[in-house]
Amino acid sequence: MTAEPRQAKRPGRPRGASDTRERILTNARELFARNGIDKTSIRSIAAAAGVDSALVHHYFGTKEQLFAAAINIPIDPMAVLVPLRDTPVDELGRVLPSILLPLWDSEMGNGLIATMRSLLAGADVALVRSFLQEIVTAEVGRRVDNPPGTGRLRVQFVASQLVGVVMARYIIGLEPFASLTPEQISETIAPTLQRYLTGDLPSLY
Amino acid sequence: MTAEPRQAKRPGRPRGASDTRERILTNARELFARNGIDKTSIRSIAAAAGVDSALVHHYFGTKEQLFAAAINIPIDPMAVLVPLRDTPVDELGRVLPSILLPLWDSEMGNGLIATMRSLLAGADVALVRSFLQEIVTAEVGRRVDNPPGTGRLRVQFVASQLVGVVMARYIIGLEPFASLTPEQISETIAPTLQRYLTGDLPSLY
């Protein structure tokens, strides 16, 4: 487990380090937006920022953690996705929203929603696309790739429902939808997500 | 059926009329955003714009048509919603997306998506909320209000999936999701929408 030098280093950190961190983040944001996450290496970000790769790792940890920092997400996406590896595929539809809704409802979620809103408004929508296409689709999609070749689409239908919940609940603020408990939302959408993940979707084959 | 003075009048219309139209639209946008659609009357918009109600009706038709014009939607929402009144409730899950997807994919849809994106980005998100809460929820919700009191929520779950499709397909542009045919999306989400509309949703009662 990588430590979190980002927060640990903050107090009393000399001015130069702060500038360097910002320069790394700016270059990371540009390269992730232009080339996607998979095709962007820590090395290329370091080169663009004029620093050593080791320094980037030291400040930000993994590429996923750097991505999260670059788009201002206060959580490593892999911290949510990796534990899902132990969830049986036929329980993902229920477990996925039961993790995400409380997270989004939390204080941490506020930052996440604000980020999503500003990304969607601007040119940086490519960052959301990369995140969903490359990190989420890759992580979950290979487990539900049945019949072969459908995994990516299955996950993207799940993403469409989850993004819609974020919009309806936090951004549009539909009432009474926005005032439901996280459990009410999770339980209502769980069968939908499970069908998208493992159900029969004939029109996609 | 109201004519469409908006387009018919455009060529050769004197400058003063154009200013008046703009002033009506600006005031409509403000009042709809502040008070919602239901609580905003044509009369109050006319008063705010310093014109007669009859002129507002003459230029824009019904309140729904004025709302559509105010938020730059190139279609009267009732033109989509009213024909749905003849669709049996247990076919709405299939019919709704089979109307909306081709519409969104069309040239007319481009304007719609652009509007949605800019509304979501700005303070005018209240306009999207009013539209979904008051027009869509009211129109469809009363038909699926079973058990009584659940109609609004049922429709809002449908809205969450549909808004999610708009986001994933047109705004985020997830691939391969964005390249599916309208039929593939409609058929895949139809059972979801139908379950939200008429299925058993125990956690909501």
Residue B127, domain CATH: 1.10.357
**The tokens 């911290």 sit on which residue?**
A79
> Is B129 in contact with A189 (Cβ distance < 8 A)?
no
The single residue listed with the structure tokens 């270059």 is A27
Cβ-based contacts of A71 with chain B (< 8 Å) = none
User: Is the Cβ–Cβ distance between A167 and B167 less than 8 Å?
Assistant: yes
Q: Are residues B133 and B105 in the same domain?
A: yes
Is residue A173 within 8 Å of residue A134, measured between CB atoms?
A: no
Are B189 and B133 contained in the same domain? yes
The residue among B8, B7, B43 whose CA lies nearest residue B28 is: B43
Report whether the peptide linkage leading into residue B148 is cis, meaning its omega lies within 30 degrees of zero.
no
* Domain membership of residue A65 as a residue range: 5-70
The chain-wide mean pLDDT, for chain A, equals 89
Cα A177 to its chain centre, rounded Å, is 23
Q: Of B16, B34, B110, B121, give the one whose Cα is nearest residue B70.
A: B34
Are residues A189 and A90 both part of a single domain?
A: yes
Domain end position, chosen among B45, B70, B95: B70
Beta carbons of B171 and A117 less than 8 Å apart: no
Assess whether A112 and A191 both reside in one domain: yes
**Last residue in a domain, options B70, B97, B122:** B70
CATH code, B31: 1.10.10.60
| Contact at CB, B195 and A191, closer than 8 angstroms | yes
Amino acid at B57: H
A98, A132, A167, A186: best to mutate for the B interface, most B CBs within 10 A: A167
**Low pLDDT (below 50) residues in chain B:** 1-10
How far apart (Å, rounded) are the C-alpha atoms in residues B37 and B27?
A: 13
Q: What is the pLDDT of residues B8-39, one digit of tens each?
A: 444 555 567 889 999 999 999 999 988 889 89
Judgement on whether residues A95 and A23 belong to the same structural domain of the protein: no
Q: How far is B69 from chain A (nearest CA, A)?
A: 20
- Note whether ipTM > 0.95 here: no
Please tell me chain B's helix, strand, coil percentages from 3-state DSSP, rounded to the nearest 5.
Answer: 75, 0, 25
Say if the Cβ atoms of B120 and A167 lie within 8 Å.
Answer: yes
* B120/A172 Cβ within 8 A: yes
Among A150, A158, A163, most B C-beta atoms within 10 A, so best to mutate, is A163
Position B51, amino acid:
V
Q: In which band, very low, low, confident or very high, does the pLDDT at A142 lie, cut at 50, 70 and 90?
A: very high
Q: Name the band, by pLDDT with cuts 50, 70 and 90, for residue A113.
A: confident
Cα-atom radius of gyration of chain A, to the nearest Å?
18
Give the pLDDT of residue A14.
55
CA distances from A182 to A142, A188, B31, B188 (A): 28, 10, 32, 25
Q: Answer for the pair A160, B165: CB distance below 8 angstroms, yes or no.
A: yes
Same domain, A188 and A105: yes
Residue burial B20-42, b: 16+ Cβ < 10 Å; e: rest: bbeebbebbbebbbeebbeebeb
What pLDDT does residue B159 have?
Answer: 96
Total structural domains within chain A: 2
Q: Which of A29, A54, A70 is the last residue of a domain?
A: A70
Is the predicted pLDDT of residue A92 greater than 90, yes or no?
A: yes
Are A177 and B183 a contacting pair at CB < 8 A? Answer: no
- Whole-number CA gyration radius for chain B: 18
Cβ distance A192 to B195 less than 8 Å, yes or no, reads yes
Interface residue of B167, B169, B185, B196 to substitute, partner A, most A CBs within 10 Å: B167
**What is the spatial distance between Cα A132 and Cα A158, in angstroms, rounded to a whole number?**
11
Chain A residue nearest residue B116, CA to CA = A121
Residue-level pLDDT at B15: 64
Q: Are residues B141 and B43 in the same domain?
A: no
Co-location of A65 and A110 in the same domain = no
Nearest to A176 among B153, B168, B187 (CB): B153
- The DSSP line for A128-153 is HHHIIIIIIHHHHHGGG--STT-HHH
What span, in angstroms and rounded, lies between the C-alpha atoms of B203 and A186? 9
Nearest chain B residue to A201, by CA: B188
Could you tell me if A82 and A171 lie in one domain? Answer: yes
Indicate whether B162 and B84 sit together in one domain: yes
Looking up tokens 């296409």, which residue turns up? A133
Q: In this predicted model, which residue has the larger pLDDT, A122 or B3?
A: A122
Q: Which residue numbers of A have CB closer than 8 Å to B's CBs?
A: 117-118, 120-122, 125, 128-129, 132-133, 152-153, 156-157, 159-165, 167-169, 171-177, 180, 183-184, 187-189, 191-192, 195-196, 201-204
Contact B66, B5 (CB under 8 A): no
- Helices and strands counted in chain B (H then E): 12, 0
Residues A58, A146: one domain?
Answer: no
Smallest CA–CA distance from B176 into chain A, residue: A153
pLDDT in the model for residue B9:
46
Return the H-helix or E-strand segment holding B127.
helix B125-130
Half-sphere exposure of B80 (CA within 13 A, CB side): 22
Indicate the pLDDT class of residue A15, thresholds 50, 70 and 90: low
Q: Are residues A164 and A87 in the same domain?
A: yes
User: A195 and B192 in contact by Cβ < 8 A?
Assistant: yes
Q: Can you state the percent helix, strand and coil of chain A, rounding each to 5? A: 75, 0, 25
Mean pLDDT, residues A66-78 taken together: 87
Q: Closest approach of chain A CAs to the CA of B150, in angstroms?
A: 10
